[in-house]
């Protein structure tokens, strides 16, 4: 418990830096919020009135102090594009991004970990070459290009996938809110028609993210397995007459999972903030597309709230990774 508190305390300077940097960047980036919302035909007097109403005419330190005071009250400001509090928008949209990212990560794990283990056990085989090809493709292909390619092939040419119009098709209604994850909420309500609609809509964007996340997971799994398979205790296990299945699954894989778990946490946190292009391609109503729309409109409060949310999630994920590593590795618990 003391270690957890120390990690949280050590993350506070990073969060403070994020708050300062995002506040400054939203003020110095090109674009004027008052001019955007006043319209192209607005007079200079109207623009000045809007700027005064938004508090943008005050000195920068005074604006920052007001922003910090609002943060201490849990107020992230108002979104001028949606007319709602930023916190409400983020709470409503975060489950969509989290569900998409989690499903994409599960798809990547289901392919990358077995493929990485097989590539390490059978070096130079077809599985090893396939692993290298997939890793290269995952690193080389831009994520938006992969998404557009999947839409073109599976929706336009083959007609197997539904139209990329968001989390549900036009004839389905959202399930009652429990977790915000449509797949889980529809299953809880036993609304299998909505569940099928949500599953059909999420498969292509999740596969797009999965291919992008597959590369680092497969690479680290293969490298970690190769390092463990060359260890002394593995040679001892083989000399003891244990079966290859027992050696690989019981001894090698468990020790090789430590760096893989760390990579999974890093990949998840990266995907959660970097799936902006996927959300735009598939009209997914997540926080990434929300931040992009706000940035285009020079709406600073949603952008600041988005970056701060990503920073907090990154801290929480790093802490979770440490706790999982302690559970998997007894040496970490004793240290």
| Residue whose C-alpha is closest to residue 137's, from 199, 207, 223, 224 | 207
pLDDT at 31: 65
Check pLDDT > 60 for residue 333.
Answer: no
Task: Return the structure tokens found at 277.
Answer: 């292009």
| Residue whose C-alpha is closest to residue 299's, from 70, 72, 82, 40 | 82
Q: Residue 85's beta-bridge partner residues?
A: 78
- pLDDT, mean of residues 114-127: 82
| Residue whose C-alpha is closest to residue 54's, from 41, 40, 35, 69 | 35
| Residue whose C-alpha is closest to residue 221's, from 113, 105, 110 | 113
Check pLDDT > 70 for residue 38.
Answer: no
Between 234 and 184, name the one with better pLDDT: 184
Cβ-based neighbour number of residue 215 at 10 Å: 21
CA distances from residue 39 to 9, 27, 46, 50, 299 in whole angstroms, order as listed: 45, 20, 10, 11, 14
Residue 299: helix, strand or coil by DSSP?
Answer: coil
Check pLDDT > 70 for residue 159.
Answer: yes
Task: Return the structure tokens found at 117.
Answer: 């283990």
Q: Could you tell me which residues come within 8 angstroms of residue 46 by beta carbon, excluding any fewer than 6 positions away?
A: 38
pLDDT at 242: 79
Q: What is the mean pLDDT of the chain?
A: 81
Between 276 and 328, name the one with better pLDDT: 276
Which domains occur in the chain, in start order? 2-59 (no CATH), 87-334 (1.10.3720.10)
| Confidence band, pLDDT 50/70/90 cuts, at residue 332 | low
Between 65 and 34, name the one with better pLDDT: 65
Alpha carbons within 13 angstroms on the beta-carbon side of residue 193 total: 6
Percent composition of the chain: helix, strand, coil (DSSP 3-state, to 5): 75, 0, 25
Write the pLDDT tens digit of every residue in 211-249: 888 888 888 888 888 888 888 888 887 887 778 778 887
Check pLDDT > 80 for residue 154.
Answer: yes
Check pLDDT > 80 for residue 89.
Answer: yes
pLDDT at 30: 66
Burial annotation 289-323 (CB, 10 A radius, 16+ → b, else e): bbbbebbebbbbbbbbbbbbbbbebbbebbbebbe
Q: What span, in angstroms and rounded, lies between the C-alpha atoms of 237 and 243?
A: 9
| Percent residues over pLDDT 90 in the chain | 8
| Confidence band, pLDDT 50/70/90 cuts, at residue 184 | very high
The values of phi and psi at residue 180, to 5°, are 90, -15
| Percent residues over pLDDT 70 in the chain | 89
């Amino acid at each position: 418990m003391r270690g957890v508190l120390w990690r949280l305390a050590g993350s506070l300077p990073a969060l403070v830096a994020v708050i300062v940097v995002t506040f400054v960047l939203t003020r110095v980036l090109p674009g004027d919020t008052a001019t955007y919302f006043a319209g192209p035909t607005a007079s200079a007097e109207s623009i000045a009135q809007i700027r005064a109403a938004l508090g943008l005419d005050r000195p920068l330190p005074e604006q920052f102090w007001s922003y910090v005071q609002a943060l201490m009250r849990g107020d992230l400001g108002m979104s001028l594009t949606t007319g709602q509090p930023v916190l409400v928008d983020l709470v409503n949209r975060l489950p969509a991004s989290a569900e998409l990212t989690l499903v994409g990560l599960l798809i990547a794990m289901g392919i990358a970990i077995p493929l990485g283990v097989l590539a390490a056990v059978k070096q130079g085989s077809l599985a090893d070459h396939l692993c290298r090809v997939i890793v290269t493709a995952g690193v080389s292909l831009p994520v938006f290009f992969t998404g557009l390619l999947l839409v073109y092939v599976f929706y336009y040419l083959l007609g197997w996938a539904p139209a990329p119009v968001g989390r549900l098709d036009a004839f389905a209604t959202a399930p009652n809110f429990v977790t915000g994850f449509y797949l889980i909420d529809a299953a809880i309500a036993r609304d299998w028609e909505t569940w099928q609609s949500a599953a059909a809509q999420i498969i292509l964007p999740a596969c797009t993210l999965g291919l992008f996340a597959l590369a680092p997971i497969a690479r680290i799994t293969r490298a970690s397995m190769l390092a463990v398979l060359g260890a002394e205790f593995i040679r001892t296990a083989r000399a003891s007459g244990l079966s290859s299945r027992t050696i690989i699954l019981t001894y090698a894989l468990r020790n090789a999972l430590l760096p893989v778990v760390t990579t999974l946490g890093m990949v998840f946190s990266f995907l959660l903030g970097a799936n902006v292009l996927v959300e735009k391609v598939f009209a997914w109503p997540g926080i990434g597309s929300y931040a992009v729309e706000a940035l285009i409109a020079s709406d600073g409060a949603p952008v600041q709230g988005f970056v701060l949310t990503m920073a907090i999630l990154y801290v929480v994920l790093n802490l979770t990774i440490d706790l999982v590593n302690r559970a998997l590795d007894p040496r970490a618990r004793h240290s």
